[in-house]
Amino acid sequence: MILNDQNIEDANKSALSDHQKQYDNLKSTLSDKHDLDAIIQKLKDFQVAIPSWALGTGGTRFGRYGGGGEPRTLEEKMYDVGLIHKLNQNSGAISLHIPWDIPENPEAIRQLASNLNLKFDAVNSNTFQDQEDAKYSYKYGSLSHVDAAVRQQAIDHNKEVIDYGKDLGSKSLTVWLADGSSHPGQNNFRKAFERTYESLQEIYNHLPADWKVFIEYKPYEPYFYSMVIQDWGTSHLLAQKLGDKALSLVDLGHHLPNTNIEQIVATLMMQNKLGGFHFNDSKFGDDDLTVGSLKPYQLFLIFNELVDGMLNTSNPDLSWMIDASHNMKDPLEDLLQSVDAILLAYAQALVVDRKALDQAQESNDITGAQEILQNAYRMDLRPLLAEARRQAGAALNPIKAYRQFKVRDQLIDERGLKTISTGL
């Protein structure tokens, strides 16, 4: 299924005059202090990649309840991302997980991406599952395994993923290493780190000149006692040792409860070592819930540091991606909500009075600093987002348009009710 410009125009028609009133109101409040055209341009430019594994229904170790019309092939996944992008014009990239989504015919896949106005974001390797035709098992680790032959298999897989990405025009590899231990004494921490570093060096040396590798960290799961890359410090240490093309990746769900993620962001950007971002939300752990659904203020504080870092450090441009699992909601609706939450937090951070905040901080005016942040956070910037979408040719209200066009019903008609998407 494809939506065209006329569809979007039709969907917007009835809401245009209300939108104009709301936007004019907001404009009169904001335009004294802010260059709204510049902010709108930033919002239009902001593109969040959709991972190929998040377009079907996810599950837990207890079960999975499919929702129907799920994409069965890489091509169908790309059509789904194309639908999201057509509705919001902020999702113009797809991130592939190999071997779940191997591009068998790169030429045709590139052509389809270009037809749908999509780019290929980071490619992701998978050494946390055994593949059917694999010679060795990753039960006791991959890049950190005690056996050099198993490590080599995992290294070769990562190199292969880079090669697939090269064919498609990706510029980065994300490594999330699931290696670790579930029992005290099982692993020698130092040796596990050293083996991992050596394996990553070989992968790093396979990167094309204009590529980066992002190193993701996670405190627990799938292992419950230790993870080889457990936190941002370990990720940063590896990135630092590897070289300029290696950077850390922050996944919002990969922290223990109450971790100050915004401070991690500030520190990594100060070091020019923040490469990528995986968005989701969580209450207990790596819950992979809709971005901004539980802790929107935290998301705003994170964006406040991201915007500050983008203005005041030389950190390279970031690779933005959603990394969530849609277990109960329609994945496409959930992704539309997530992208909207990300853009809203970004917009709020863009209207923070940075000069006043700096003055408040430098004069220990704690109350004043809080007022400045909360003034931005409590402003309703949804009309600004809608205006950016309108200018970009997207739907004023993407979810409403999605429902108006009965997209899910059409996808079920096309693909069937019992389809299952590869991935989570």
Question: Which residues in this chain contact Mn ion in the complex, by CB under 5 A?
Answer: 251, 278, 323
Adjacent-strand bridge partners of 176: 216
How near is the Cβ of 254 to Mn ion at its closest, in Å? 7
How near is the Cβ of 206 to Mn ion at its closest, in Å? 22
How near is the Cβ of 262 to Mn ion at its closest, in Å? 18
How near is the Cβ of 284 to Mn ion at its closest, in Å? 17
How near is the Cβ of 29 to Mn ion at its closest, in Å? 37
For 274, residues 6+ apart whose C-beta sits below 8 A from its C-beta are 247, 248, 250, 265, 268, 309, 315, 318
Side-chain half-sphere of 117: how many Cα atoms within 13 Å? Answer: 17
Q: Are 167 and 106 in contact (CB under 8 A)?
A: yes
The 8-class DSSP code of residue 50 comes to E
Please identify, using beta-carbon distances, which residue of 282 and 348 lies nearer to Mn ion: 282
Q: How far apart are the first and last CA of the chain?
A: 23
Adjacent-strand bridge partners of 174: 124, 214
The 8-class DSSP code of residue 51 comes to E
Please identify, using beta-carbon distances, which residue of 206 and 218 lies nearer to Mn ion: 218
How near is the Cβ of 51 to Mn ion at its closest, in Å? 8
Residue with tokens 């990746």: 249
The 8-class DSSP code of residue 133 comes to T
Alpha-carbon distance 382 to 319, whole Å? 24
Please identify, using beta-carbon distances, which residue of 306 and 411 lies nearer to Mn ion: 306
